């Protein structure tokens, strides 16, 4: 990336408030009431990335997603990832930043295992091989679910974005397809990859929708998988958000996916956005959704925000909306406050529970934006390794 960026074919209607309308599960307007930096988790990634004892493990990455495994471990998934080693400051320019050699290996995806709050190991990278020359896979949302409905055996399903090399403005790849990988438990061995939605037949790349930027499960029956188009790559102010749903245990079954068309769950060619007007309202290419009692809350980079530094939120009583907002914004801290440094891909991490000061833990990726991509951006990421690692904040939600 270097930037990166549900069962039958009939009409199954979703009520506006599936969690009810009374008690602690009542749906209420929600927004960010306060936030604070979460240094403990941020520092743990810095510690692990700076450890020079191995040359084949994670030293930086983006596309940060996580899932808690049944044995308590947390699996962290990343898109473009630097391996190699990190050197102590000063860097070759004399600056007080830990740095990475510009020849350090870069792979398209990686997975890191955390145990008892401490990052422990990097799985052999890349974990998900390129599907074809000029294509690659970025892992996004992951869920633990039964191998099949009703099965006592559990597996990890990882949703993947497949992208293809492209020219400007598609310097981070042209959207191609959504796939789902299956990992065994507890060994985390890759068993296979299934393509669930191929978008290569959609002529306009800006209208292609990739799913998996976030996923959540409701009442153990359904997994809701959110996706978006890539309008921002085509210089539109905001992308549109879409939602699909899949029965638990069938994420790797393309026939089980159904897509919201504004009234019912149906086939992919009929899906319609649940959020986004192409201007002030909408999402970035990556966003996240969580539940706060009976309310669904969506976090995204603010549409049209200068320099990609501000996070905003929307709320709804159902995954299908209507989504209300945008709410007030906040700008999380960056390693460097200078032109070219950007935050993106906010992601909520229920796998962390209440860490440090409690509340909702949200990560965001940090990168050096370069209109041309490639050499200049990579040089800046190498001179200061903290520019390409996730950072974390704790959020508290309150009335709008």
pLDDT tens by residue, 38-68: 999 999 999 999 998 887 899 999 999 999 9
92 falls within a domain: yes
Neighbours of 398 (CB within 10 A): 12
User: What is the bridge-based pairing of β-strands 288-292 and 295-301?
Assistant: antiparallel
Spatial distance between the Cα atoms of 230 and 256, rounded to a whole number of angstroms: 25
Contact in structure between 146 and 249 (CB atoms under 8 Å): yes
Backbone angles phi, psi at 332, to 5 degrees: -70, 160
Q: Is the pLDDT of residue 393 over 70?
A: yes
> 332 is written with which tokens?
């999380």
Nearest to 300 by CA among 315, 316, 289, 284: 284
199 falls within a domain: yes
> 261 is written with which tokens?
């068309």
CATH of the domain at 65: 2.115.10.20
pLDDT in tens, 317-375: 999 999 999 998 999 999 987 777 889 999 999 999 765 455 899 999 999 876 555 66
User: What is the residue whose two structure tokens read 């860490």?
Assistant: 355
Contact in structure between 386 and 335 (CB atoms under 8 Å): yes
Residues in Cβ contact with 258 at an 8 Å cutoff, skipping those fewer than 6 apart: 6, 7, 12, 244, 245, 246, 265, 266, 267
Residue 47 domain boundaries: 23-398
Strand partners, 104: none
CA atoms within 13 A on the CB side of 206: 12
Q: Is 113 helix (H, G, I), strand (E, B) or coil?
A: strand
pLDDT in tens, 2-43: 433 332 223 222 333 333 333 457 899 999 999 999 999 999
**Tally of domains within the chain:** 1
9 falls within a domain: no
Backbone angles phi, psi at 197, to 5 degrees: -150, 105
Contact in structure between 241 and 275 (CB atoms under 8 Å): yes
Q: What is the pTM of this model?
A: 0.91
Alpha helices (runs of H) in the chain, residue ranges in sequence order: 39-50, 375-383
58 falls within a domain: yes
pLDDT in tens, 274-303: 999 876 789 988 999 999 989 999 999 987
211 falls within a domain: yes
């Amino acid at each position: 990336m270097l930037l990166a960026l549900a069962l039958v074919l009939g009409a199954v209607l979703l009520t506006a408030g599936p969690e009810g309308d009374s008690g602690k599960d009542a749906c209420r307007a929600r927004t960010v009431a306060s936030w604070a930096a979460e240094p403990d988790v941020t520092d743990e990634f810095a510690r692990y990335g700076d450890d020079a004892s191995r040359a084949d493990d994670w030293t930086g990455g983006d596309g940060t997603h996580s899932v808690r495994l049944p044995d308590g471990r947390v699996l962290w998934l990343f898109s473009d990832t630097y391996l190699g080693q990190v050197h102590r400051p000063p860097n070759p320019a004399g600056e007080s930043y830990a740095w990475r050699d510009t020849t350090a290996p870069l792979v398209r995806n990686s997975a890191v295992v955390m145990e008892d709050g401490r990052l422990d190991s990097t799985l052999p990278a890349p974990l998900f091989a390129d599907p074809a020359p000029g294509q690659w896979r970025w892992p996004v949302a992951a869920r633990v679910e039964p191998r099949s409905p009703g099965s006592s055996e559990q597996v990890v399903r990882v949703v993947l974005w497949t992208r293809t090399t492209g020219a400007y403005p598609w310097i981070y790849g042209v959207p191609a397809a959504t796939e789902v990988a299956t990992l065994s438990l507890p060994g985390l061995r890759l068993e296979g990859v299934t393509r669930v939605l191929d978008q290569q037949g959609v002529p306009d790349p800006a209208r292609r929708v990739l799913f998996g930027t976030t996923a959540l499960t409701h009442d153990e029956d359904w997994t809701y998988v959110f996706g978006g188009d890539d309008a921002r790559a085509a210089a539109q102010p905001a992308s549109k958000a879409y939602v699909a749903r899949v029965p638990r245990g069938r994420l790797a079954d393309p026939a089980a996916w159904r897509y919201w068309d504004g009234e019912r769950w149906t086939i992919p060619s009929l899906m319609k956005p649940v959020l986004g007007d192409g201007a002030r309202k909408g999402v970035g290419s990556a966003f996240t959704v969580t539940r706060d009692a009976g309310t669904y809350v969506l976090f995204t980079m603010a549409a049209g925000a200068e320099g990609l530094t501000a996070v905003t939120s929307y709320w709804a009583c159902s995954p299908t909306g209507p989504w209300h907002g945008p709410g007030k914004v906040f700008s999380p801290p960056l390693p460097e406050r200078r032109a070219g440094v950007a935050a993106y891909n906010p992601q909520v991490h229920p796998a962390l529970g209440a860490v440090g000061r409690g509340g909702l833990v949200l990560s965001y990726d940090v990168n050096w934006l370069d209109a041309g991509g490639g050499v200049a951006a990579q040089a800046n990421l190498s001179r200061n390794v903290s520019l390409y690692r996730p950072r974390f904040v704790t959020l508290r939600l309150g009335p709008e």
